[in-house]
């Protein structure tokens, strides 16, 4: 089961707009939401799901608005929350900024979107590109144009329109990995994790089928390619865009899909593996009396020295700086916060993941060019100094 009704409330809890999808929960029940929210907040027991009798409120806050879904059944909470966040994403695509004023200025469009986003309590068309084909906005007015339903709504491939044409057919693939790392002052790695995404920018005519091959360890074992020079990676927590044929992937690990047009995230993954620090920082701090610290640009006493080593490039940099701080009479013993590092390394992935091939199949038989780019960047990358 999913939502019975969806409400958009202002910051005081007054309904701005609502849509009753099933009629099994009285719309007046929303009056209990804000008093219940305030009460739980005062008690320090605020939760994303609040209940009043048999009615449950699943809510999120965005800017000065509350989006609330009501239900009296054992609803699929993750589905409802995903829908609420997707609704915010769609509204932001239409109105740029989602706030009370944008809702009041676009009541008609909001009603139309709520009608299309959900049907009888279940999410339907939530792709903003498809919605914008027949729910258009100009000067805060709705233009319905032709009354026919676009083929993308009834088509089995709802995320892609028919009749797309390009003079030059290309696919750009970005493999982006973020490194989360926590290292103690002795250089021991306390926590390491790789979070990766594969993003595509698609400029292809027609209705092509794409097949992406990675150096997936499970695939190598199925096909007998494991070992030797074939380096493989074991992906965890893999999540795909809705266009991917999951049954095909489960069967033979082939990532087969008909892509949306333009930019989209094809998949994400995670690897819990021991990662050696890509960037290392050594710090030496000396203090004067009265807690005065000097960081000098020349080699004198009370110097903070950062030796930044870039392991992939094999380079080392040294920075010296001097700051005069006001003196205090009483010295307080405080721990030094960890050093956060931001970086980006092109043409490199920590995990070693590789795009082995990208096959593009379209009935007209045109030739298309796939381009691949690898990027490693910092995520939550911290080095403790004490």
CATH of the domain at 184: 2.60.40.1170
Q: What is the pLDDT of residue 69?
A: 96
Residue 255 · residue 214 · CB < 8 Å: yes
Residues 121 and 193 occupy one common structural domain: no
Q: Does residue 371 belong to any structural domain of this protein?
A: yes
- In this structure, is residue 365 part of a structural domain? yes
Which pLDDT does position 40 carry in this prediction? 92
Identify whether residues 67 and 205 lie together within a single domain: no
CA angle 95, 101, 105 (to 5 degrees): 65
Residue 359 domain-assigned? yes
Q: Return the number of other C-beta atoms located less than 10 Å from residue 363's C-beta.
A: 9
Q: Are residues 117 and 9 in the same domain?
A: yes
Identify whether the C-beta of residue 371 lies closer than 8 Å to the C-beta of residue 173: yes
Task: Single out the residue of 177, 172, 173, 174 nearest to residue 352, CA to CA.
Answer: 177
CATH (domain of 92): 3.30.450.60
Alpha-carbon span 143 to 165, nearest angstrom:
25
Whether 115 and 184 map to the same domain: the answer is no
**Is residue 145 in some structural domain?**
no
* 230 and 372 belong to one structural domain: yes
Whether 310 is in a domain gets the answer no
Question: Does a structural domain hold residue 125?
Answer: yes
Q: Cα–chain-centroid distance for residue 236?
A: 17
Reported residue count of the chain is 386
Q: Is residue 234 part of a domain?
A: yes
Backbone angles phi, psi at 101, to 5 degrees: -65, -40
| Residue 339 three-state SS | strand
Inside any domain, residue 164: no
Model pLDDT, residue 372? 96
pLDDT of residue 307: 40
Whether residues 36 and 90 share a domain: the answer is: yes
Question: Residue 345 — φ and ψ, nearest 5°?
Answer: -120, 115
Q: Are 186 and 75 part of one and the same domain?
A: no
262/349 same-domain check: yes
Which of 132, 158, 187 is the C-terminal boundary of a domain?
A: 132
Q: What tokens were used for 21?
A: 């999808």
Distance CA 159, CA 65 (A): 29
Asked whether the beta carbons of 52 and 32 are under 8 A apart, the reply is yes
Of 110, 132, 154, which closes a domain? Answer: 132
Only one residue has tokens 């258009």, namely: 136
The count of domains in the chain is 2
Per-residue tens of pLDDT for the chain, all 386 residues:
579 999 999 999 999 999 999 999 999 999 999 999 999 998 988 999 999 999 999 999 999 999 999 999 888 999 999 999 999 999 998 888 899 999 988 988 999 999 999 988 888 888 887 888 778 765 343 344 444 455 555 556 778 888 899 999 999 999 999 999 998 888 889 999 999 999 999 999 999 999 999 988 777 666 666 545 557 888 889 999 989 999 888 888 889 999 999 999 999 999 988 888 888 776 666 665 555 554 433 322 223 333 444 444 555 555 555 555 565 555 555 566 788 888 999 999 999 999 999 999 999 999 998 999 999 999 999 988 77
User: Is residue 153 a contact partner of residue 142, using CB atoms and an 8 Å limit?
Assistant: no
- Within 106-245, residue ranges assigned H as helices are 107-117, 128-131, 151-154, 217-223
Range of the domain at 259: 170-276+344-383
Q: Are residues 92 and 45 in the same domain?
A: yes
Same domain for 174 and 97, yes or no, is: no
113 and 230 together in one domain: no
The three-class DSSP label of residue 116 is helix
Say whether both 194 and 52 belong to one domain. no
Last residue of a domain, one of 80, 107, 132: 132
């Amino acid at each position: 089961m999913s939502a019975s009704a969806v409400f958009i409330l202002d910051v005081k809890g007054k309904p701005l707009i609502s849509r009753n999808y099933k009629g099994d929960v009285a719309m007046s029940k929303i009056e209990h939401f804000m008093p219940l929210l305030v009460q739980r907040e005062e008690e320090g027991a605020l939760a994303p799901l609040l209940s009043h009798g048999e009615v449950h409120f699943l809510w999120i806050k965005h800017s000065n608005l509350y989006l609330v879904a009501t239900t009296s059944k054992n609803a699929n909470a993750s589905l409802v929350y995903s829908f609420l966040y997707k609704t915010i994403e769609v509204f932001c695509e239409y109105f740029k900024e989602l706030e009370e004023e944008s809702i009041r200025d676009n009541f008609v469009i909001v009603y139309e979107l709520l009608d299309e986003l959900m049907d009888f309590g279940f999410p339907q068309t939530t792709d903003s590109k498809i919605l914008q084909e027949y729910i258009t906005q100009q000067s805060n007015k709705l233009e319905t144009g032709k009354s026919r339903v676009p083929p993308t709504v009834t088509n089995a491939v709802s995320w892609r329109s028919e009749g797309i044409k390009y003079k030059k057919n290309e696919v750009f693939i970005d493999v982006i990995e973020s490194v989360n790392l926590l290292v103690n002052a002795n250089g021991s790695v306390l926590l390491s994790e790789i979070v990766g995404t594969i993003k595509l920018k698609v400029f292809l005519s027609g209705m092509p089928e794409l097949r992406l091959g990675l150096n997936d360890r499970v695939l190598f074992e199925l096909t007998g390619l494991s070992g030797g020079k074939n380096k493989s990676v074991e992906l965890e927590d893999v999540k795909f865009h809705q266009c991917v044929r999951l049954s095909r992937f489960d069967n033979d690990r082939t990532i087969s899909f008909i892509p949306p047009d333009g930019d989209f995230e094809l998949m994400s993954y995670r690897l819990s593996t021991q990662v050696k620090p890509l960037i290392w920082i050594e710090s030496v701090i000396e203090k004067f009396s009265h807690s005065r610290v000097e960081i000098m640009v020349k080699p004198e006493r009370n110097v903070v020295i950062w030796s930044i080593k870039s392991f992939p490039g094999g380079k080392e940099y040294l920075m010296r700086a001097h700051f005069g701080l006001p003196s205090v009479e009483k010295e307080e013993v405080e721990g030094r916060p960890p050093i956060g590092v931001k970086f980006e390394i092109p043409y490199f992935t920590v995990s070693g993941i590789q795009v082995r091939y990208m096959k593009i199949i379209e009935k007209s038989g045109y030739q298309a060019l796939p381009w691949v780019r690898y990027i490693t960047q910092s995520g939550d990358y911290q080095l403790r100094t004490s």
